[in-house]
A and B are shown apart, each in its own frame.
Chain A
Amino acid sequence: DTEVTQTPKHLVMGMTNKKSLKCEQHMGHRAMYWYKQKAKKPPELMFVYSYEKLSINESVPSRFSPECPNSSLLNLHLHALQPEDSALYLCASSPGQTNEKLFFGSGTQLSVL
């Protein structure tokens, strides 16, 4: 199994809603990532978990809250988002060290109304 599975594929939420994005992999990877991608732009790194510990937080607003319950799962909790947060949110994983091949999920297309 070389897949990274993201759910949901599409999400529409209001600015007062609370929602969560989920990401799962069963490749035994120990590094997991959240990226945000706006249309026609490259992905921007948001968070990296390494061995279930938050390793990188790219100064992301606190309305985005990551969680890594175990080595296979990665969540992104969303609360009080703004319309400018509408984007494709991509999860990725890699075996565990830096500078390794990344495996991406198909993303969650988020629209904030």
Chain B
Amino acid sequence: KNEVEQSPQNLTAQEGEFITINCSYSVGISALHWLQQHPGGGIVSLFMLSSGKKKHGRLIATINIQEKHSSLHITASHPRDSAVYICAVSRSNYQLIWGAGTKLIIKP
């Protein structure tokens, strides 16, 4: 079993829909990261959180430390949100343990 599991692996939705991507982890962490990667491109760090909830524009990330679970929500989704969304957790050093990613496609 992977230490960081994401679901779903693939998600296709219509423009305007509310999107939820889930991440569960099985190890102790110091922080959880949500990152975005467009095809062929670099990676953008969206959030780093260790408790509670963070919001940036149409993106919301939550984490439940007791349940070892985090969610990334996108409100009013748009085709430009199409990308791979990756959950990763950090522990005590510079290492990240990465999830496999969720490929999101938003259709106009």
Contact = CB atoms under 8 A, between A and B. Distances in A.
Contact of A56 (B30, B35, B95): B95
B41 A106 contact: yes
B93 interface: yes
Interface stretch (B11-19, B42-50, B63-71): B42-50
B96 interface: yes
A98 B45 contact: no
A48 to B, nearest CB: 5
Contacts of A102: 33, 35, 43, 45, 96
A21 to B, nearest CB: 13
A98 to B, nearest CB: 5
Interface residues of B, number: 24
B35 to A, nearest CB: 8
A66 interface: no
Contacts of A103: 45
A100 interface: yes
B90 A98 contact: yes
A43 B90 CA distance: 14
B41 to A, nearest CB: 6
11 contacts: A43-B98, A90-B42, A92-B43, A94-B94, A98-B92, A99-B90, A99-B92, A101-B33, A103-B45, A104-B35, A104-B44
B45 A42 contact: no
A94 B92 CA distance: 15
B86 interface: yes
